[in-house]
Structure 1
Amino acid sequence: MMRLLGTLEGEKEALRFYSFLKGEEIDCTYDPVPSSEGTYEFWVVHEDKIEQAAHWLSEFKKNPNDPRFDVKEHPIDTEGVAEEEEKEPVQLRALQMRQRVRSRMPLTRLIVIICALLYIWNGYQMADIAKEDPDQEMYSLTPLMTDLSYDMPTAASRAELSKKIFSEDRIGNPTVWDGLYEVVLGWPESKGELDAPLFVQIRQGEVWRLITPCFLHGSFLHILFNMLWLWMLGRQVEERTKKWQYILISLIIGIVSNTFQYLMSGPLFIGYSGIVCGLAGFIWMRQRRAPWEGYPLQRGTLIFLAVFVVGMVSLQVASFFLIRFQIANFSMNIANTAHISGALTGIVLGRIPFFSKGGV
């Protein structure tokens, strides 16, 4: 795995320093930074050379014209490349070298494919329900939803779930945990809802429900938004961690964010956004604690995602007060608890050396 060394300004200076490092037998490459014209970031192939390379970078920045750095330029392929390849632009050769050591991110691709297939499958089931009973509630649950959602009542009660959760009168004998949000919203009349059973199916051994809601999505825009963010963030984490680390990070974030969302809103929530926010939090922390790992996520991207989450939470708070004081029936169907708990979990994991690039 390659480690980010630092940056230099100017193509001539970058090539000069690169040639010097090759002369010092420090395998490296350098790439142009897309967001900053004329800036090049250096990557060192072997971690045991990072301290030596960092020393020379510091010296080079002090005086790029120092005679110590006057060395013959070396081709990128030290094992011998064709003469015509040596004439290729420096940027192209550097990008080609980095591409050869870069992972193909198979796990991120697999997750995207799984989410897409489940979205199509769920869509077919919804269409079948609509054909069989055109008067059916638009929120009726598909078999896939009842099997993969976080928790459900016992199988005998599933037919009553939609009627129970989407009915106007939710007070009475609680058979489905409807979340703390609804309890607080209807307090004190709703305090009996606290007696509803929790983790019904999970306690019966259906532990896959802890993570499977992440792979379900309700609309095309929902899955498109989440998969674009996963493609951006997941690839970066997968490229810089071991495969099992990436899987474990995603599982921990998913389980924690799903559990908190279930406690807050009940069993009906879906989407990968909790893990997406967790990956963003993880990357943000790794950038702060280990910038040499080279996560290229721009600060503006993190700010955009943070503003989006804060905006959704603000709308949720406004919705709560509007409904609580019977001003307007403005309801939100956003898993804000999953977003916040996922981001915080990612930040915590990003502080643990076990999940670092060189972790065990």
Structure 2
Amino acid sequence: MSSNAAQQTYYPDDEIDLRELFATLWRGKWVIVLFTVVFAFAGVAYALYKPNIYQSSVLVAPAQEEGGGLSGLAGQFGGLASLAGINLSGGGSNQTVIAKEVLQSRAFLTAFFHRHNMEVPLMAIKGWNEDSGEWVYDRSEYNPEASEWLLDSDGKSYKPSDWDMVEAFREEHFSISEAKDTGIITVSVKHYSPVMAKKWAENLVKDINEHMRKQDVEEAEARIAYLEEKLSETNISGMQQVFYQLIESETRTVMLANAQREYVFKTVDPAVVAEEKSEPKRALICVIATLLGGMLGVFVVFIRAFVANGQKPEVKADKRITTSTAV
């Protein structure tokens, strides 16, 4: 015994009904408009609330190193100099790389902050009054009248640590970049005050030059002392002549370092007081906020339609598959 039974099963199709889609959007147009307007006003308010930030930059190039005489000595006495712990080869490019890393190091920046009394302008300022030229303090953490940091609810002072200042400076104020084709280095500093940004940028270049100069002078003087000690211990005239020439080269290094103000970085374009802000991009903030509001409004409309209909509004169930079975 056999019989044919036709069973019809319906499956939802994944085709999108554009008319239903636009009808859903039209029904929820006021929701979309509401979200767009609210986010637009919020974006405008946030953009106006954000204070202006100014950037000042210094363009520097690696200083030319006087290495002619040292190169000659390196060829003649390189082996003996290496035994004495002295490097006579030119190291200008390597010195530039080291100077860049030192400029961003925690130890250098910490000393820089304390040397220039940057604790308050770095951590207690939240704006700058363009009309009066005065700072706007964060009075919830710092009392400018008493020049002291306040205490929180647990009795702990808001006074920042050295690490807090380094992190804030690296993330919000300081940047350094290098043009690979020319080797020109840009040291940039941002701050609410354009005058302060210019001052910090100038001081950074000045201090790194002084730091590297002082370090090289101290190392050269230590090598001179070592060579003079070895000179007094030998009676061989040939060795004495070698030591005299090595001492002469190190003395020359000290003299040139003391006479060279821009020791590692030579200023190509000095910092200036910025007349225009670099941040915030208020127009961009308003546009992004408006777009986010519109997209969120569309999303809410679709969610409401899905909940109301029990299925996605843009899906149309019209695909039919017929299967036949024989028994």
- Report the TM-score, using the length of structure 1 for normalisation: 0.23
Higher strand share: 2
Q: Relative contact order, CA 8 A, sep 6+: which one is greater?
A: 2
- Report the TM-score, using the length of structure 2 for normalisation: 0.25
Q: Which structure has the larger Rg?
A: 2
